[in-house]
Structure 1
Amino acid sequence: MKEKIKIFLDSDLLEKYLLGNTTEIESLKVEQYIAMYPEVRETYNELQESLEIFAKLHAVKSPEGLKEKITARIRSEHQGRKRFFRYAIAASFAAVMFAGASFFFWNQNQDLQEENTVVSNKIKLLEADMKQQLEDVRNQFIVLNNPSTKKYNVKGNQKAKELKAVAYINPVKKLSYINVKKLPHLPEDQCYQMWAEVNGEMLNLGIIEEGGDGQNLMALPYAENAVGYITIEPKGGNQNPTVDNIVANIAY
Structure 2
Amino acid sequence: MKNKIHDFLESDLLERYLLGETDNLETAKTERYIALYPEVRKAYDELQDNLEAYVKLHAIKAPEGLKETILHKISKQKKNNSKFYRFAIAASIVALLFAGSAFFFYDQNQDLMEKNTIVNNKIKTLEMDMRLELEDIRNQYIVLNNPNTKKLNIRGNKKAQELKAVAYVNPVKKLSYINVSHLPQLPEEQCYQMWAEVNGEMVNLGVIKQFDDKEKLLALPYADQAVGYITIEPKGGNLAPSVENIVADIKY
Distance in 2, Cα, partners of 1:218 & 1:81: 84
1:173 aligns with 2:173: yes
Q: Deviations over 1:59-94 (max 9, x none)?
A: 9689xxx99xx98x8887666444322221111111
2:245 is aligned to: 245
2:162 is aligned to: 162
1:196 is aligned to: 196
Structure 1: gaps spanning 5 or more residues: 1-10, 12-57
1:42 is aligned to: none
State which drifts further: 140-149 or 106-115: 106-115
User: For residues 247 and 74 of structure 1, do their structure 2 counterparts lie closer, same or farther at Cα, with a shift above 3 Å needed?
Assistant: closer
User: For residues 199 and 77 of structure 1, do their structure 2 counterparts lie closer, same or farther at Cα, with a shift above 3 Å needed?
Assistant: closer
Q: CA deviation at 1:123?
A: 1.4
State which drifts further: 175-184 or 80-89: 80-89
Distance in 2, Cα, partners of 1:204 & 1:197: 9
1:89 is aligned to: 89
State which drifts further: 230-239 or 99-108: 99-108
2:209 is aligned to: 209
1:143 is aligned to: 143
SS at match of 2:124: helix
Partner letter of residue 163 of structure 1? L
SS at match of 2:184: coil
So what's the TM-score if we normalise by structure 1? 0.69
SS at match of 1:224: coil
1:105 is aligned to: 105
The higher radius of gyration belongs to 2
Q: Deviations over 1:28-79 (max 9, x none)?
A: xxxxxxxxxxxxxxxxxxxxxxxxxxxxxx99689xxx99xx98x8887666
So what's the TM-score if we normalise by structure 2? 0.69
Partner letter of residue 168 of structure 1? Y
SS at match of 2:181: strand
Q: Deviations over 1:172-228 (max 9, x none)?
A: 110000000000000000000000001111000000010233100000000000001
Distance in 1, Cα, partners of 2:74 & 2:227: 105
Partner letter of residue 113 of structure 1? M
Matched pairs, number: 190
Partner letter of residue 137 of structure 1? I
State which drifts further: 115-124 or 234-243: 115-124
1:49 is aligned to: none
User: For residues 189 and 61 of structure 1, do their structure 2 counterparts lie closer, same or farther at Cα, with a shift above 3 Å needed?
Assistant: closer
SS at match of 1:205: strand
Q: Deviations over 1:129-186 (max 9, x none)?
A: 1111111111111111111111000000000000000000001110000000000000
2:45 is aligned to: none
User: For residues 241 and 60 of structure 1, do their structure 2 counterparts lie closer, same or farther at Cα, with a shift above 3 Å needed?
Assistant: same
1:115 aligns with 2:89: no
Give the aligned CA root-mean-square deviation in angstroms.
2.4
Q: Deviations over 1:89-133 (max 9, x none)?
A: 111111111111122222222222222222211111111111111
- Residue identity over aligned pairs, in percent, reads 63
SS at match of 2:126: helix
User: For residues 80 and 145 of structure 1, do their structure 2 counterparts lie closer, same or farther at Cα, with a shift above 3 Å needed?
Assistant: same
Partner letter of residue 143 of structure 2? V
Partner letter of residue 92 of structure 1? S
Partner letter of residue 94 of structure 2? A
